[in-house]
Amino acid sequence: EPEVTQTPSHQVTQMGQEVILRCVPISNHLYFYWYRQILGQKVEFLVSFYNNEISEKSEIFDDQFSVERPDGSNFTLKIRSTKLEDSAMYFCASSTGTVTFRREFFGPGTRLTVL
C-alpha cells in the first residue's frame, strides 16, 4: 500500500531557530494536511493545502507557520521561530479528495523537540 513519508523522524532545535519539516505525500493525492499531537494530548489540525494554496487553517497556524509544495512532490511545514510549546509530534497527511469517500493517509510523524 502507498505510504506518506516524513523526514526527519526526530528534530531537536533551540528556541528561536527555524525548522522545516518535510513530507512526501502519496503521488496521486490532491489534498495535503499538517496535524500535530502534543504528548498526551489530542491530534490537532493545523492546515490543509490544495491546488497550491491554503484551503483551511486553525488558530494554531499563526504567522510563525508556513507551508509550501516546492516541487510537486514534497510538502513542507516551516516554523520560523520555534517556541518551547511547539514541541510535539507533527503528522503530514494526504488524501485523494474524493467527495464521496475520504480517507486520510498519515505519515509516521516528525518528533520536534524545542530546547
Partner 1 sequence: EDQVTQSPEALRLQEGESSSLNCSYTVSGLRGLFWYRQDPGKGPEFLFTLYSAGEEKEKERLKATLTKKESFLHITAPKPEDSATYLCAVQANTGANSKLTFGKGITLSVRP
Quick one: which of 7, 11, 13, 58 contacts partner 1 (CB under 8 A)? 58
Give how many residues touch partner 1 by CB under 8 A: 29
Quick one: which of 18, 56, 68, 85 contacts partner 1 (CB under 8 A)? 56
Phi, psi (deg, nearest 5) at residue 56? -160, 145
Phi, psi (deg, nearest 5) at residue 85? -75, -5
Q: How far is the CB of 39 from partner 1 (least distance, A)?
A: 11
Distance CA 77, CA 110 (A): 11
C-alpha cell at 56: 483551511
Q: How far is the CB of 112 from partner 1 (least distance, A)?
A: 14
From the list 14-22, 44-52, 70-78, 80-88, the region that binds partner 1 by CB under 8 A is 44-52
Element spanning 44, H or E:
strand 43-50
Question: Judged by CB under 8 A, does residue 97 bind partner 1?
Answer: yes
Look at the chain and count its residues: 115
Binding-residue pattern over the window 60 to 89 for partner 1, x denoting contact by CB under 8 A: ------------------------------
Element spanning 48, H or E:
strand 43-50
